[in-house]
Chains A and B, each alone.
Chain A
Amino acid sequence: MRAWLLSDAPASRRQARLGRLYAGWLTFRGNTLAMVGLAILAALVLCAAAAPWIAPQDPYAQDLAMRLKPIGTPGHLLGTDSLGRDILSRLIWGSRTTLYIVTLVALIAPVVGLLVGTVAGYAGGVWDAVLMRITDIFLAFPRLVLALAFVAALGAGIENAVLAISLTAWPPYARMARAETLTIRNSDFISAIRLQGAGPVRIITQHIWPLCLSSLIVRVTLDMAGIILAAAGLGFLGLGAQPPSPEWGAMISEGRRFILDHWWVATVPGLAIFTVSLAFNLLGDGLRDVLDPKSGGSK
């Protein structure tokens, strides 16, 4: 199997593609820190998927007699919050919300940025001027303030928080994609495909995107931490996920009232955010080694 995957002369397109994926995986596997990041994220996905079965308690069940119990209380491994809800269970259910936000933002912002950036970079002229000025306008707004205004206008909720974060997150991707497009646009291999009669849509989607994509993916994973924090920030301000739904930022926000006497209520979700952010950063670093075209890709 291994020999078939790493064959010097693949017999079919499928074998060539699988072999390339496998070679990339081998490079990635050599990076211990990236594997740690991947393992944490895999655990997060498992947690989210299996939340109903692995959560020891109902995340919404209140028990005022058991409120603010410390870490290690029997039945409440990570303690309870101000309404006596089990923090571990809320953390596990909250991973769903976190993943949901992260996935949606990761799908919206880079795609919009890539589209705007590559079209502006390749078309040039008026298109470039108009699209980049729009990007500048979005860049000029302070991120959290724009998100706040947006949520205030549309109402609080996870979907609107996602939309607000995406709206403020795409301009850097557009800038980056445009800069890459400008360096690619006049290269000989683009000239060559133009000479074969390819139109601008084909050139942008088939020839420019693959080259922008790797740096974009790396950038997205590195930004993921910031996105989780922005979502947590909105939650903290009461503009993201609404109580009683378990969202990590909202949990910190609730816990801040007791932070001096009952530190674990705010600290535990904080640690969760920290761990996942770190995992995304580690993963991003590892992906850069695998995907960076300048390193020649997988040997």
Chain B
Amino acid sequence: MLEVDGMNVWFGAGATHVDAVQGASFFVGRGESFGLVGESGSGKSTILRAITGLAPGWSGRVEVDGKPVYRDRRDRAFHKRVQMVFQDPYASLHPRHSVDRVLSETLRLHGMDAIDRRVPQLLEDVGLGPKFRFRYPHQLSGGQRQRVAIARALAGEPELLLLDEPTSALDVSVQAEILNLLADLRGERGLTYVMVSHDLAVVGHLCQRLAVMQSGRIVEMLDVEQLRRGRAEHPYSRALIAASVSGGRTARAAE
């Protein structure tokens, strides 16, 4: 579904040039759920932004569903196939647009018909009732906002969903709800996930395979079984697993 080969991402030019990602390669199969783990600044979110075209300076080869993705051009088919959920639900919704406007505009951009019927359906899919339809973001809680953001990402019926730390800005109890919602949606719609997180428990709950990143490089690939048994080889992965023992409580809360 998604293939990334030898991706480099940089910011700035000349004296301010910073390499954010160096030589990242990974493959995500259709219907699979793949995690990118690392501390902040390790470049994991930057990979997602490069795939979606939000970080313009990158090189390497990216293929979605066998079709190459160009550096600065994304066509309608790409936007329909690939969608993203942002980290901070307080920043990812337009403060002056109602939920109805956000969803109906997105549906219209994807050329959908019967918008009046689809909007309540989308809200229901993410566990929000019809009374939320005409609310504004400031009238919603963080978890409700993230549900709206997920509904927006799902509006175009994408196949690949990029999740940029979708729960890190939320309360622990709400985190579990959102993770369960994401797991359910994947099951119902056969979605492919690429999830970025610094929280191994969250990734372990949702993903089958994961890549550990450190300062812009992928240092190790693990599957969830290896993660659970703590069988990492790279010292950084081991440190990360050791550090997330306290995070294990989150995982149990989520399950």
Contact = CB atoms under 8 A, between A and B. Distances in A.
Contact of A9 (B74, B80, B106, B130): B130
B136 A13 contact: no
Interface string A236-255: 00000000000000000000
Contacts of A210: 94, 96-97
B149 A195 contact: no
Given A197-B79, A206-B105, A16 B100 contact: yes
A139 B19 CA distance: 41
The SS class assigned to the A binding surface is: helix
Contacts of A187: 91
Given A16-B98, A189-B92, A207-B94, A196 B134 contact: no
Contacts of A9: 130-131, 133-134
Interface centre among A195, A198, A207, A211 (most CB of B within 10 A): A195
B52 A188 contact: no
Interface residues of B, number: 35
A133 B136 CA distance: 38
Contacts of A10: 133-134
Contacts of B117: none
Contacts of A196: 79, 83, 105-106, 109-110, 152, 155-156
Contacts of A74: none
B54 interface: yes
B201 interface: no
Contact of A13 (B88, B105, B134): B134
A154 to B, nearest CB: 39
Contacts of A205: none
Contacts of A297: 95-96, 136, 138
A73 interface: no
B252 interface: no
A188 B96 contact: no
B83 A195 contact: yes
Contacts of B88: 188
A32 interface: no
Interface residues of A, number: 25
Contacts of B136: 297
A188 B134 contact: no
A268 B133 CA distance: 54
Contacts of B130: 9
A10 B156 CA distance: 25
Nearest to B106: A196
Contacts of A194: 53-54
Interface in A166-203: 187-189, 191-198
A210 B95 CA distance: 10
The SS class assigned to the B binding surface is loop
A8 B129 CA distance: 12
Given A13-B100, A210-B96, A297-B96, A189 B134 contact: no
B189 to A, nearest CB: 18
Contact of A192 (B76, B84, B95, B138): B84
A2 B87 CA distance: 38
Contacts of A207: 94, 97
A207 B86 CA distance: 18
Interface in A1-58: 8-10, 13, 15-16, 19
A296 B53 CA distance: 31
Contacts of A155: none
B93 interface: yes
Nearest to B77: A197
A294 B102 CA distance: 19
B200 to A, nearest CB: 25
A188 B138 contact: no
A206 to B, nearest CB: 7
Contacts of B96: 210-211, 293, 297
A263 B215 CA distance: 78
Interface in A282-299: 293, 296-297
B54 A197 contact: no
Nearest to B75: A197
Contacts of A206: 105
B155 to A, nearest CB: 8
Contacts of B92: 188-189, 191-192
A211 B98 CA distance: 14
B109 A189 contact: no
Closest 9 CB pairs of A and B: A9-B131, A16-B134, A197-B79, A188-B92, A188-B91, A296-B138, A189-B94, A188-B86, A210-B96
12 contacts: A9-B134, A15-B134, A187-B91, A192-B149, A194-B53, A195-B83, A195-B84, A196-B83, A196-B156, A197-B76, A207-B94, A211-B95
Interface of A: 8-10, 13, 15-16, 19, 187-189, 191-198, 206-207, 210-211, 293, 296-297
